[in-house]
Structure formats: C-alpha cells, structure tokens
Chain A
Amino acid sequence: MATRRPEGLTASLLIGPATLVVMLSLVLPLALLARYSLNKYDRRTFMIDAFTPENYLRFVTDPFYTGVLWTTFSIAIVTTLLCLILGFPIAYKLARSQTRWKSIGVLLIILPLFIGSTVRALGWMGVLGRGGIIDAAYGALGGSGISLLYTSFAVGIGILSINLPYMILTLQSVIEGIDARLEEAADSLGADPPRRFWHVVLPLALPGIGTGGILVFILAMNAYATPFLLGGARFQMMAPMLYREFAVNNNWPFAAAIAFILMLTTLSLTAVSGLLVQRRYKAQ
C-alpha cells in the first residue's frame, strides 16, 4: 500500500516558492532598510555602520520634516474625502445602470489608468501653468496672468484625478452587491431618496467605502510624480523628499528613516480607519 504524504508537507511545498519570493523581494529589503535607518551618515564615505536613533530624532524634531509629513497627510486626507464625495454618485449611477451606456461609462473610468501618472501630471501642467489653458482663458476675460501651478491646489487636483478611478471602481462593485430590491423596500416604506441613502445604501456600502478610502489614501500618501511635477520645489511631500535625500544628497540612512516613518504612518492610519469601519459595521 502506498503511503500518503502528510498533507502539511504538500501544503508547505506548494506555498514554498511564493514564500521564498516574498522573503527575497519584500522582507529582506525591508530588513536591510531598517538596518540602514539606524546607520550614521558621513560626507565622504556616505554611510557608517552604527546603531543610533538619530535619523528618526532628526525627523521628528525638525519642524521642516514634520511639516512635510503633515502636508502629505493633509493632501492625502482631503483628496481621499473628495474622491469619496465625487466618486460615490458616479459609482452608484454606474452600478445601478443597466443600459449599454454602463460599459461605456466603465471604459471611460478605466481609460485614464492606461496613461501613466507622469504623463497626466504633465497634462495638468499644460492646463494650470503660465500660458496654459486657464491662464489663457483668464487673460481673454481681461484678467492679468495667473498660474495655479506649484500650489497645493495643483497637487490636490492632480492626485484626485489619478485616484478617482480606483475609488469609483471599488465603490461600484460594492454597490452592485447591494440588492436593488432593498432600496425599493425602503422606498415603499416611505423613505425619500436622501433617507434611503442614509439608512440603507450608506450603511451597506460602508465596507466598500472603507476599502476604497484606504486604497486611495495609501496611493495619495505615497504619490511621487504628481507632487514632484505639479508641486515644484516649494511644495514638499514625503515621496519626492525621500527621493531627494536618497539620490541627490546620498544620505541613505536618513532616506531609510523617512521611508519607515512614511510606511508606519500610513499603516497605522489604515489600521485605525479599518477598525473604525469594522466597529461601525458590527454595531449595526
């Protein structure tokens, strides 16, 4: 009689390769980065082995750096909320539509994702910059030249335009999972559209709102090309600043510390919001 291989062994053999890839490509570099962040920076040799918290201390004690983190957080929160407010009606309309316009609508939402964020940021430069579309239109109306480029507004609108499709697609699939009969039931029980939304659609869409919100929040926190191109030198966000420390200043230990601060901030905010959504959902 053939002996059966223990199931645990088969499972670990199957999971093995994937685990190896994750270890090599994610855990190892992170561990290395964590190690770097505790090293010392030196002008000539760039990095000296050490075991010091001074990179982290430098970040949290310098108002410039904490200011950049605060700016990044504000931009991420504002764009996430705007994504939600602007995306929900579109996602709802798409989810409840049953005509052939639906697939056209979905295609229109997906289409911008085919174009890289750098190219789209360049497009916004053409719209917002001096001599751009808005400037020209303003001039034609008799105003003197304006440039909206290199402002938080420009960065916000750039990130918003990039993140909106992700939000809409996430919400659309969640709303499609809400039985339309539930809305009709609310309707027949006397709930007008605002109250139907508040008492039925919103609570049931909450998990999707959480998922979509976390997704675009992470994307906004880590945005690189958009703040780099639309924010310019004066407007600082975490990812471009990290890159400059790493590539321009060659300060790998400090760049590694910034990377960890950004990652931990994003992770903890995500975890907190996830818990809040879960609690609110369970409470119902």
Chain B
Amino acid sequence: MNTASHLRIEGLTKIYGSAAAVEDVNLDVRQGEMLVLLGPSGCGKTTTLRLVAGFVAATRGRILVEGRDIASLPPYQREMGMVFQSYALFPHLTVAQNVTFGLRMRKLPKAEIDRRLEETLDMVKLTTMADRYPRQLSGGQQQRVALARALAIRPKVLLLDEPLSNLDANLRQSVAREIRQLQRAAGLTALMVTHDQDEAMTMADRLVLMNEGRVQQVGTQEELYEQPLNPFVARFIGHSNLITGELVDADTFRLPGGAVMKLARSYAQRGPHTLALRPERVRLQTEGDVSPPRATARVEDATYVGSHVDYLLSFEDGSSLALHEPTGATGGTRRAMGESVAITWDGLNERLFDADGITVSAMTAPGMTTA
C-alpha cells in the first residue's frame, strides 16, 4: 500500500452558532485506505463527512486531496463519490440513467459513457437491472446502484454515510464485504461514517473514534481495543468496566467504599484515577493461577450464555464489575449468587487513566512483552 497521504484534513472546525459540531479534526487517509469515522450520534462524524463532501462549509481548516486544498470548492467540483444512508437514488431515472448521471454531467462521449456503464453495472452485478426504476429494486440492489453511481465517476475519494444501516441484518455482512472488495479493487481512498462498532471493525483499515466534535483516538482495531487512550475509548470500543478510585501507593487502588485492589503494575502517580478492565480480560482466580488474587467481590448475578458465563460482581461500596468467564475451562459450572470470589487479571489488560482522562503508564511492566 502506498503510504502517502491522499486525503489530509487539517484543523477542520465547524461552528454552529456558539457550539462546535466539529473541532480541530486532523486526519490523514492514505491512498487506497478505508478510514472509518465511528462515534455516538451527535459526535460530529457525519458533519466531518459532509464537510469533506462540501455540503457544509467549514468554519476553519483545510481539506487536501493530493496536496490541493479543496475546502473552498463547491461540492460539484470536488469529485467525491458519495453513498448516502438513504441511497438518494433519482426516482425519475432508471438504474442506467442513475449510474451515468455523473458521466453525463461531465459531458463524456457517448461511447465512453456506455463503456463505463457496462463496466460498473458488471462490477455490482446489476447488468440485468439497467432499465428498472429504483422503486422496482430491493434495498440491497438500491444500495449497489448507489455505490455504482459513486464509483462510475472514478472519484478521488469515496464517501460512505452509514451505508449498511438501511439493510436487513442478514444482508449487512455480505454487502460490507462487497463494498470492501470493490473499494480495494479500485484502489479507492475511502472515508466511511458509522455508529455501529461491529460494522466499523469489519470495514476499516483504521478507525477514528469521535466524541463531542473531537477525535478521541485514531488507530487500527487492535490499537483502539488494546490501548485505548482515554476512558471514552475504553468504554465505547468493546466494553470496559470503568472503576473510579484512588492510587494510594505504587500498586494499591482503593475504591471509595474502602475495598482495595492490588494492581498488576506499579505507578508513580497518586490520587484519584479511573481503572479500565474488560469483562473478558478479568477472570475468577483459582488455585494454581499464575497471578495472585487482586480483589475480592460478591457474585450478584451469573448468566450462562453458552460461550461464557456473564457475571455481575459487586464490591463493598456498591460499585460493580462485569466479568466474562469462558465456559470451556470450567465445564459450564457457575458460581452461586452471593458467593465471595477472588478475581485477577494480567498487567497488559490493565489501563489506568488520571482525573483528566489521560493514560497513565506504569513504572515497571512485569510480564510486558509488547512487540
């Protein structure tokens, strides 16, 4: 993959009235890369996409495509291929007329238009549907027409706004794979928006997690999952137990109610912190465990869900912790409610954030083997 940045966003800001919908967003999308903007609704991901498309004028910032700032160009000069959430197919035009719309606007010669129509319809396997109207197509077919229409103009950047959200659940995976294949085959740089984490994980080369108009973290799936930069990322990607307490010495974490945890690593900082632990990375401590027990809790609820037992544990002060115990090891037995259990985890799976939500790194890292 070419590592040169193909689409570059610098200090992009959009202010509505006094509120910033998007604030100081900086992104680099490499040639041929699929970058997925992920976040809860109202986080600014869609506004960012619309800023790139040109439907919304930026308050500040630059949008560079192949080094050229396009932030002041109208959308019809930006050569972005946009796939809308609602597909936005022209209802009065046939599939063929929809797909060739952009080509006709560019006044390409008839032969070239026909050639590209055939090629594009072939790509999305809709050759037999050319003369149908959008209302005569299924949701999945409409989606493919929308994609074909965007691909036909050979856009500089492909923009996808929640492309799967209007599809039946059983179609989503296959369409997701199809979009990926087409995008890879065409070597297109793509920017996609979604609120669905699984969708983002499946589609992305890299992810951008946004919240309240700001980028929280940019990285691969592994980076966001294993090394969340702040409590928001830890909670949003997968799930994390976020436990607030106080670092009283290098490896002692005291909860507000007085319960004490022995951390896996040692820290130089003291004072209020947030500890993030993933349910599937915490385990019930048993005899012979490589790690010592780190905390004791009471079983509030235990649900057997097949692949694992879903535990809800509570500490003395009432704060709770979710824990997923794989069923393979225990043969499907579960602990009784009210039972007191010891829990433990490995140093790699422990993330600590200070009061400002910034990652705190350990002084020493026993057992740490980062590549």
Contact = CB atoms under 8 A, between A and B. Distances in A.
Interface of A: 179, 181-182, 184-192, 195-196, 199-200, 203-204, 281, 284
B91 A204 contact: yes
Contact of B88 (A182, A191, A195, A199): A182
A94 to B, nearest CB: 20
Given A191-B101, A195-B105, 7 more contacts: A186-B105, A187-B76, A188-B80, A190-B106, A192-B76, A203-B92, A284-B93
A188 to B, nearest CB: 4
Contact of A190 (B55, B84, B102, B159): B102
Contact of A188 (B81, B91, B106): B81
11 contacts: A184-B82, A184-B84, A185-B82, A186-B90, A187-B54, A188-B55, A189-B102, A189-B149, A189-B153, A192-B76, A204-B91
Contacts of A200: 90
A191 to B, nearest CB: 5
B93 A188 contact: no
Nearest to B107: A190
B165 to A, nearest CB: 14
Contacts of A196: 76
B193 to A, nearest CB: 14
Contact of B101 (A184, A189, A204): A189
A184 B88 contact: yes
Contacts of B74: 187, 192
Nearest to A195: B105
Contacts of B102: 189-190
B55 A184 contact: yes
Interface in B37-91: 53-55, 74-82, 84, 86, 88-91
B53 A199 contact: no
B76 A188 contact: yes
Nearest to A191: B105
A199 B92 CA distance: 10
B101 A187 contact: no
Nearest to B149: A189
A177 B321 CA distance: 50
B359 to A, nearest CB: 39
Most buried by B among A188, A190, A281: A188
A206 to B, nearest CB: 9
Most buried by B among A179, A187, A192, A203: A187
Contacts of B78: 188
Nearest to A178: B91
A182 B90 contact: yes
Given A189-B149, A195-B105, A184 B91 contact: no
B76 A191 contact: yes
Nearest to B100: A189
B342 to A, nearest CB: 56
A190 B80 CA distance: 9
A179 B134 CA distance: 14
Given A179-B88, A181-B88, A284-B92, A188 B53 contact: yes
Nearest to A183: B88
A184 B153 CA distance: 15
A185 B90 contact: yes
Interface in B154-170: 159
A204 B88 CA distance: 13
Most buried by B among A186, A189, A195, A284: A189
A187 B90 contact: no
Contacts of B80: 188
Interface string B89-133: 111110000000110011000000000000000000000000000
B92 A204 contact: yes
Contacts of B54: 187-188
Contacts of B88: 179, 181-182, 184-185
Contacts of A204: 91-92
Contacts of A182: 88, 90-91
Contacts of B150: 188
B102 to A, nearest CB: 4
Nearest to B91: A204
Contact of A189 (B55, B92, B105, B159): B105
A113 B129 CA distance: 49
Contacts of A192: 74, 76
Nearest to B97: A284
A184 B105 contact: no
B90 A184 contact: no
Contacts of A179: 86, 88
Contacts of A195: 105
A120 B105 CA distance: 46
B92 A184 contact: no
A190 B76 contact: yes
A190 B82 contact: no
Nearest to A284: B92
B77 to A, nearest CB: 8
A68 B283 CA distance: 96
Contact of B55 (A187, A191, A199, A284): A187
